[in-house]
Amino acid sequence: MSQVVARDSVAADQLVYPWPFPVGPSIELACGQDEVAVLCPAWAVAANLGPGRHTWYSPDPSKPTAVYFVLTGPVQVDFDMMTQFPMPGSGQATMLRAHGSVLVRVADPALLVAQFVGLPFDRVNDGLMHSVSSSVERMLGKLLPRKAAMAGTVAVVADPATWPALVEELTQYNPTVGAVHGVAFVRFKQLAISVGDHNGWNQAIQEWQHNSSESTERGAAPSNPALVPPPVSQGPVLPVGTRVLVALADGLFHSAIVRQALQGYYELDVGDTGEMVWVPMGQVAPQV
């Protein structure tokens, strides 16, 4: 009789659940909705099985098979970033803390699993969550101090009135670009920013939360581009296919290709990262 393999109910919210027991050469496998099972005989990705019940036979019964259940729906990941920097001019040490959560989903289950086949089962999901939160925190640790320094005041990021527009801007940078391959950013869910100095923290008394009636999913146009108006002197709109340079959250210029233009934003194919991002037109210049 074939072995029945399925996700454990206690792991219902895990992005990746590795089946923790050995499987035989023939198994009965059950996948839930918003889930894909990735089968890896001899530590190589061989098949993706979607929702439903399946019978699977190993191509090499003499070798072990690993099974990974991967959620394809959105999963929440928390982040908590703290950084300290001197304000230009005064030199006063300023501290910023940004905490909240983002939603991510798996865009390519096979690519994701191929990166950790053979690693200890009990560390896979925790490692993925850490990868995503670290990517978001690194981006915030670079972008927020830079915006505060350029404006000469932390109010540009710490005033709750600025957070809806700030979230729109952060979304365009793809906060999970530094996470493991195969994971895609969906949207910010919550964000709160606090300011501190040598006297302690001025805790944020409110928190921005996503309005579920809006959509800022990666690959779609920004839900409200008017929140972050492009510079007045942005120049003529560049045609599709133009090779450009774009400044991203890492502080570097990247080569990219224009895929479309919409309401003051370009959708760009960034060559060295393989990412599709939406950025304000003012951040883009033709590459000569």
Predicted pLDDT of residue 202: 65
> In total, how many domains does the chain have?
3
56 and 109 together in one domain: no
Residues 6+ apart with CB under 8 A from 248: 173, 177, 254, 270, 277, 279
The answer to whether 218 and 279 are in contact (CB under 8 A) is no
79 and 214 together in one domain: yes
Residue 201 β-bridge partners: 196
> Would you say residue 93 has pLDDT above 70?
yes
CATH number at 267 reads: 2.30.30.140
Token code pair at residue 239 = 């045609």
pLDDT one-digit tens code per residue, 173-182: 889 888 888 8
- 95 backbone φψ class: left, alpha, beta (φ>0; ψ -120 to 50): beta
Report for 38-42, 148-152, 199-203: range of highest mean pLDDT = 38-42
Higher per-residue pLDDT: 1 or 228 = 1
Structural domain for 135, as ranges: 75-227
Residues 6+ apart with CB under 8 A from 55: 2, 26, 27, 28, 29
Burial class (CB in 10 A: 0-12, 13-18, 19+), 110: middle
89 and 222 together in one domain: yes
Which residue among 227, 258, 273 closes a domain?
227
59 and 89 together in one domain: no
Mean pLDDT, the chain, rounded, equals 81
Token code pair at residue 88 = 């230009």
> Would you say residue 271 has pLDDT above 60?
yes
140 and 194 together in one domain: yes
- 52 backbone φψ class: left, alpha, beta (φ>0; ψ -120 to 50): left
82 and 221 together in one domain: yes
Query: What does DSSP say about strands 200-202 and 243-247: parallel, antiparallel, or unpaired?
Result: unpaired
- What CA–CA distance (Å, rounded) separates 249 from 79? 17
pLDDT one-digit tens code per residue, 215-236: 444 333 333 333 333 333 445 7
Alpha helices (runs of H) in the chain, residue ranges in sequence order: 109-114, 124-151, 155-158, 163-172
Token code pair at residue 130 = 């850490």
Which residue among 26, 47, 71 closes a domain?
71
